[in-house]
């Protein structure tokens, strides 16, 4: 096991991350974590962060690369990063951008576009999503009413499918 006792991060298999505040690397590591993790608690000696699907999607939408996230965790970790955490981060990251919300030719509608027919089929099986679809244009594209923009984004996030909003 590759232990780096001077590093300030302890990454747990539940995707919680502990950051020792007394480390000389504290500020550097804190700034790195802020790119893709949510601060949960910040008592005096150890700050607790959580890596969530939403925090990874937000990082992806802000242009933070997957390698930047993974390499930073590995570089600053006191103990090896649990393999399941690395796999989950990669899975969350790769989901982002598979659905896009775009302007449509009809100014009252928005275009929801998928890169994957199976994904579009899966989301259309959910009643809440189907109710917001105005017209299905193809196996990859549907129109929704503009006033449902926030609702559809929220519903899709709850299902685990974030939307890249290009509107």
- pLDDT higher than 90, residue 2: no
Q: Which conformational region is residue 97 in: left (phi greater than 0), alpha (psi within -120 to 50 degrees), or beta?
A: left
**Paired tokens of 101:** 């919300």
Q: What is the pLDDT of residues 73-95, one digit of tens each?
A: 999 999 999 999 999 999 999 99
Rounded to two decimals, the pTM is 0.83
DSSP designation for 22: T
pLDDT for 27 = 96
Mean pLDDT of the chain: 94
Question: What phi and psi values does residue 162 have, to the nearest 5 degrees?
Answer: -70, 150
Cα–Cα distance, 22 to 73 (Å, whole number): 18
- pLDDT higher than 80, residue 1: no
Dihedral sign from CA coordinates of 56, 62, 66, 72 = negative
Q: Is 115 exposed, middle or buried (0-12, 13-18, 19+ CB in 10 A)?
A: exposed
């Amino acid at each position: 096991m590759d232990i780096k006792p001077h590093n300030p991060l302890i990454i747990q298999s539940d995707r919680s991350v502990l950051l020792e505040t007394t480390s000389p690397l504290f500020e550097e590591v804190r700034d790195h974590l802020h790119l893709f993790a949510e601060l949960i608690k910040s008592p005096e000696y150890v700050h607790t962060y959580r890596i969530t699907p939403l925090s990874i999607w937000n990082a992806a939408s802000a242009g933070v690369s997957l390698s930047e996230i993974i390499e930073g965790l590995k570089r600053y970790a006191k103990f090896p990063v649990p393999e399941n955490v690395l796999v989950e981060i990669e899975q969350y990251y790769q989901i982002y951008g598979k659905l896009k919300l775009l302007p449509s030719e009809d100014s009252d509608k928005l275009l929801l576009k998928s890169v994957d027919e199976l994904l579009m089929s899966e989301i259309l099986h959910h009643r809440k999503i189907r109710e917001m679809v105005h017209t299905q244009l193809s196996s990859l594209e549907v129109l929704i009413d503009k006033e449902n923009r926030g609702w559809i984004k929220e519903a899709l996030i709850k299902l685990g499918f974030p939307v890249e909003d290009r509107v």
